[in-house]
A = this chain, B = another copy of it.
Amino acid sequence: MSGDFGSIAVLGPGLMGGSLLMALRHRHPTLRLSVWARRQSALDDVMNRGLADFGSLDAAEVVRDAGCLVLCLPVERMKKFAESLVNAVASGALVTDVGSVKGAVVAELEKVFSRHNNFVGSHPMCGSEEAGLDAARADLYEGATCVLTPTSRSLPHFVEKAARLWEMVGARVVRMDPARHDRAAALVSHVPHVAAAALVELVGTESGDVRKLCAGGFRDTTRVASASADLWSGILALNRVEAARGLGDLISLLASIQRALEEERLDEVNALLSSACAHRAEILNALQ
């Protein structure tokens, strides 16, 4: 299954890239893996753990012999980084990424890699509020959904290769166009992220006695708000139109519940909670 990959280069060994190296090393021990990191200490950490066969701070050197490159950087850094290494990438090498926004990223990277049309966007849906190699784990991708976002420019054999890559680490592949992905990601991830941060701020800006009441519900509802603010403002910036639209949808719904409470239309509140309870069960059951 892993025969035609040659070596796989992971660019950026954080939570996503580090977990990818671990999963590939664990499941496909004969694959040659190479790694680029921005800092020497991060590179040393990967190499000391035996997660790659070759590593360098020079991206061109890392990608030159790779049959597949996976860009595991914050979304706002992808374009500049890709430009810095495009000339070193072999014509037959697949380039993909793990960015949480696809419209802007795919448009930028398809342009950077237009010579061979070898870029296909990916978004494995398994990030968390944690970051860095210390949070990485070999089973991060197992059972996760990975969205591929091919466009009319994508070459089928590269799309197939990208699908195989994620299946090799246990993910389920779904295909979606970049714009649809960004609408969906806004609703399932970016808007909930903003809501979680806002819920924390409601409590965080109150006096201390309120905080003492925070319990399991608060903890889970706001978990994602502990993620890197820089990483997430980058994501929201690149998907700001869909995120703002989704926030508008959320605000409308919350305002209708607020009015129902104010006007004592409690059946409406019950109906919404019942519907949400049923929908959540449907959504999670379908994912199993």
Contacts and interface: CB of A to CB of B under 8 A. Distances in A.
Instruction: Give the number of copies in the complex.
Output: 2
A147 interface: yes
Interface stretch (A81-89, A151-159, A178-186): A178-186
A39 interface: no
A206 B218 contact: no
Given A202-B249, A204-B283, A220-B220, A210 B233 contact: no
Contact size range, A: 35 or more
Given A209-B180, A250-B199, A215 B274 contact: no
A280 interface: yes
A286 interface: yes
9 contacts: A144-B215, A181-B213, A196-B221, A198-B253, A200-B283, A204-B276, A229-B273, A233-B270, A244-B261
Interface of A: 125-128, 144-145, 147, 174, 176, 180-181, 183-185, 187-189, 191-206, 208-230, 232-233, 236-237, 240, 243-244, 246-251, 253-255, 257-258, 261-262, 264, 266, 269-270, 272-277, 279-284, 286-287
